[in-house]
Amino acid sequence: MEQNTSVCKNCKLPVLNEFYFCPNCGKMLRVKPIKVSILLQVGVYLLSFFLPPFGLYPAIKYIRQTDPRTKIIGWVAVALTIISIGLSIYIVINFMQHVAQVFDQLGRGQFTGF
């Protein structure tokens, strides 16, 4: 049974095609695909929504993969990050408007309570 081999570009020794790293010099031969499980997918989505800036790192990592399913996971994570940031901005703006209104009423002596 014949195995497919190639040559490491760094040390010029023969390596099997399924290797991700050269066993001799440790040079990366090809990019290892990211495993996609439901639990990992949900984790990326939760990270993207609840901690928006931190969700961009795995999202970009997923988008750079060649598998279309993995790319979709990355784009959904980016969309959730954008939605979360937009929602956070909306909540902060409304809160600040309410605080400004309360301070305005306090300044005029018309504050009636929350």
3-state SS, residue 47: helix
N-terminal to C-terminal alpha carbon distance within the chain = 80
Per-residue pLDDT tens for 45-57? Answer: 999 999 989 999 9
Please answer whether residues 59 and 82 qualify as being in contact, where contact means their C-beta atoms are separated by less than 8 angstroms. Answer: no
Give the pLDDT band of residue 1 (cuts 50, 70, 90). very low
pLDDT at residue 105, as a whole number: 87
Q: What is the mean pLDDT of residues 96-105?
A: 92
In Å, what is the CA distance from 11 to each residue of 7, 17, 18, 20?
8, 15, 17, 15
| 58 vs 35: CA distance, rounded Å | 12
Q: What is the mean pLDDT of residues 72-98?
A: 96
21 forms beta bridges with: 28
Per-residue pLDDT tens for 7-43? Answer: 888 888 889 888 888 888 888 888 777 778 999 999 9
- CA 23, 25, 27 angle in degrees (round to 5)? 90
Please give the DSSP secondary-structure letter assigned to residue 13. Answer: -
pLDDT at residue 114, as a whole number: 62
- What residue spans define the domains of the chain? 1-32
pLDDT at 94 over 90: yes
Give the pLDDT band of residue 3 (cuts 50, 70, 90). low
**67 or 92: which leads in pLDDT:** 92
